[in-house]
Amino acid sequence: MTTRVVVTDSCVLINLIHVGRLAFLEQLPGYEFVIPDHVYKEVTDHEQRSVLDEVLAQGKLKKEPLTDLAAIELYANLRGRLGSGESACLAMAVSTGWMIASDERRLFRREVVARIGEDRLLTTVRIYVLAIEAGLLTIEQADQDKDELERRRFKTGVASFRDVVKGRG
């Protein structure tokens, strides 16, 4: 069975683009990643958009519009407090029962936890843990990516993936 995951706020996408790992979203066993049109529009850097377009063209990531009427209504309600991409993702996740991939730590995270629960939230770090556990990359490779992301001002909150991945060494 495949779990669908809505990718939100472009942060997770951009993190993975920075380290050349966006395509591995398709390789995570049991997950299919989807971005709403609203999130796609948030990726405005030309080089990042080019990478995203290539991955979308290869079918490794799916882009879907927000079409469910209840989701559109929730989107409109959330839009007064959250960004467009965040609102679309949360509305899509609530209406479909999907998970959310996001690194937001403030209001959006609180909304996600309140509306769908923390167990349905994937962060960049959690995606890396899943990838390591699936054998898609080593702890050393993940730590190299972590170091690169931290140079780009994304704080993972882990010293090494060795500390968060059980049974791998």
Domains and CATH numbers, the chain: 3-163 (3.40.50.1010)
* Half-sphere exposure in the Cβ direction for 137 (13 Å, CA): 23
| Across 9-13, 42-46, 119-123, 130-134, least confident range | 9-13
Question: Residue 117, exposed/middle/buried by CB under 10 A (0-12, 13-18, 19+)?
Answer: exposed
Q: Which residues of 129-156 are buried (b: 16+ CB within 10 A; e: fewer)?
A: bbbbeeebbebebbbebbeebeeeebeb
Mean pLDDT of 132-137: 94
- What percent of the chain shows pLDDT beyond 90? 75
Would you give the DSSP letter of residue 2?
P
pLDDT of residue 166: 72
Decide if 26 contacts 33 (C-beta within 8 A).
yes
pLDDT of residue 105: 84
Q: What Cα–Cα distance (Å) separates residue 134 from each residue in 15, 20, 36, 129, 139?
A: 20, 18, 26, 9, 12
Confidence of residue 60 (pLDDT cuts 50, 70, 90): confident
pLDDT of residue 9: 65
Question: Residue 16, exposed/middle/buried by CB under 10 A (0-12, 13-18, 19+)?
Answer: buried
pLDDT of residue 169: 44
Residues whose CB falls within 8 Å of the CB of residue 159, separated by 6 or more in sequence, listed in order:
none
| In the predicted structure, residue 101 carries a pLDDT above the cut 70 | yes
pLDDT of residue 168: 46
